[in-house]
Amino acid sequence: MNDDIRATELRCNVDGGDSLGIISFDEAMEKANELGQDLVLIAPDAKPPVAKIMDYGKYRYQEEKKLKEQRKNQVKIVVKEIKLSVKIAENDIEYKVKHAREFLEKGFHVKFRVFLRGREMAHPEAGKEVLLRVWPMVEDIGVMEKPPKFEGRYFNMYVTPQK
């Protein structure tokens, strides 16, 4: 920006659309000062480099405003985790599934995890069976994003709400 630009010749544009063509750095700075604005390097790698005469403070303000607007419109995904075990009782499964259904109805994503302890690691398919018992209870309001998958000491299944 301004005096930090090292190029001797620039392809210069004025904010508003009109092009000044290829001019020397000194001429571009003179024109910027005459208009009371800044000379900002837009494309430093181009041959010759492209600079624009604009109000840099106003430009930065508008960019920040755009970023804020994008962040405001961004949807935050909430992931709720339901922990299960291989030796879980049927009524406990129903209780946890009831919570999972509430989360899915609110639009949250749900991650079901079955933790395998000690000797349960010898038969990891038991964890998958628990998740496959849970799935029919939530399939009417959820979509299985990731099927049951073995990761470390856990069997995970990821369910998202239906559109």
pLDDT, position 44? 78
pLDDT, position 37? 84
pLDDT digits (tens, 9 = 90+) for 122-133: 888 888 889 888
pLDDT, position 122? 84
pLDDT, position 83? 93
pTM for the full predicted model: 0.55
Q: In the chain, which residues have pLDDT < 50? A: none
Domain-by-domain residue ranges, the chain? 2-58, 79-161
Residues 43, 45, 50, 56, CA torsion sign? positive
The domain 2-58: what is its CATH number? Answer: 3.10.20.80
DSSP 120: G
DSSP 162: -
Nearest CA to 149 out of 134, 135, 131, 133 is that of 131
Superfamily of domain 79-161: Translation initiation factor 3 (IF-3), C-terminal domain (3.30.110.10)
